Amino acid sequence: MTTITLRRQDRATTVHRFPAEWEPQSGVMLTWPHPHADWAGVLTQADATFAAIAAAIARREIVLITAYDENHKAHVRAVLGKSGVDMARVRLFVAPSDDVFVRDHGPLTVEAGGGLLLQDFAFNGWGRKYPFANDDGLTRALHAQGAFGTSPLESTDFVLEGGSVESDGAGTLLVTARCLLSPARNPKYTAAEIEAVLKARLGVQRVLWLHHGYLAGDDTDGHIDTLARFCDPHTIVYCACPWPDDEHYEELKAMEQELRSLRTASGAPYRLVALPWPSAKLDASGERMPATYANFLVTNGAVLVPVYDDRQDDEALRVIGACFPGREIVGIPSLVLIAQHGSLHCVTMQLPQGVLP
């Protein structure tokens, strides 16, 4: 048996639990699109989509928005006002950012020491594919401004993106090997060492690895939140491609077989629910965009689901709704998001109840 000794920066405060997304929330974070990044040419469409997301969140909880600078903050406030967003539930802060994907540069919140702890993992632009210095410092900048109240923050130079880990709230984490073992993230760590860090910092007891799964147009090396998601500790929804002539067919079929082999902590097979498969969505250059219904966001009383002006949209809303009984299912037009290689879950980060004052 190999004994793993955590490096000093990987030793965290004693962590008890990594809450599931469906548990009570105090708010959801957004990093708003701005003209200093790749969004400059689609800001009108991006503003509309982000306003729709903010409105859906603000009907149920706080939406914490980061603007690039004071001028951008005024612009965001104007967009929200025109969209009828409840400004009493909006909190606007200023910090420069490189991109909008707060799922990956925002904090992961865990239960620790009788309270809540914000885990600030390092972010390196999905393996140094894109600029990342501002995004990597954004959580610390917000914390210094008091955005998270008195919730403590713990930082590490271990690279981890929020979209790469999926918690069931009961001690199990679902991840993909393609992403977490990417040599551009933590090259000196073995799989066993990565698993040890995840257990120490997120308080999980089990890490389930998927070695298959693929989404064209995805820049994350296979984030789990684009492929398979927990709906409760016993249910996983996942992308399934029914068309043998589609480039995703073999990989997603292999992923499905992996999911069938997984077991819950009690030893039972998971209840697996296949998501509809949208038709190919191409960008202006003819490249396929990463359209996936798995990239939904669970909020207080609702599930926000990305839709793509596709004939499968309604079926996706129905399938996901059946997995979250009692919650309103809200479709969010997300074509502008996948044109930037992400989707709805990628641009949001939930904060559990107790984080925001």
Q: What is the pLDDT of residue 4?
A: 38
Name the band, by pLDDT with cuts 50, 70 and 90, for residue 13: low
Cα–Cα distance measured from residue 179 to residue 199, given in angstroms and rounded to the nearest whole number: 17
State both tokens at 337.
């998001």
Residues 6+ apart with CB under 8 A from 3: none
Using one digit for the tens of pLDDT, what is the confidence trace for 273-297?
999 999 999 999 999 999 999 999 9
How far CA 143 is from CA of 15, 93, 231, 348, in Å, comes to 20, 10, 30, 17
227-237 tens-digit pLDDT? 999 999 999 99
Return the SS3 of 253: helix
User: What are the tokens at 59?
Assistant: 């009907």
Three-state SS for 238? strand
For 322-345, the pLDDT digits (tens) are 999 999 999 999 999 999 999 999
In order, the DSSP letters of 103-154 are HHHSPEEEEETTEEEEEEEE--HHHHTS--HHHHHHHHHHHHTTTTTT--EE
Q: Strands 108-112 and 115-122: what pairing?
A: antiparallel
Q: What distance separates the 2 farthest-apart alpha carbons in the chain? A: 61
Q: What's the mean pLDDT when you consider all of the chain?
A: 95
Residue boundaries of the structural domains of the chain: 8-352
> Which pTM does this prediction carry?
0.95
User: How does pLDDT run across 32-64, given as a tens digit for each residue?
Assistant: 999 998 899 999 999 999 999 999 999 999 999
Q: Which of 239, 241, 323, 346 is catalytic?
A: 346
The whole-number pLDDT of residue 3 equals: 35
Q: Please state the CATH superfamily assignment of the domain spanning residues 8-352 in this structure.
A: L-arginine/glycine Amidinotransferase; Chain A (3.75.10.10)
User: Do 162 and 203 form a contact (C-beta atoms < 8 A)?
Assistant: no
- Whether residue 231 lies in the annotated active site: no
pLDDT at 75 over 80: yes
- pLDDT exceeds cutoff 90 at 7: no
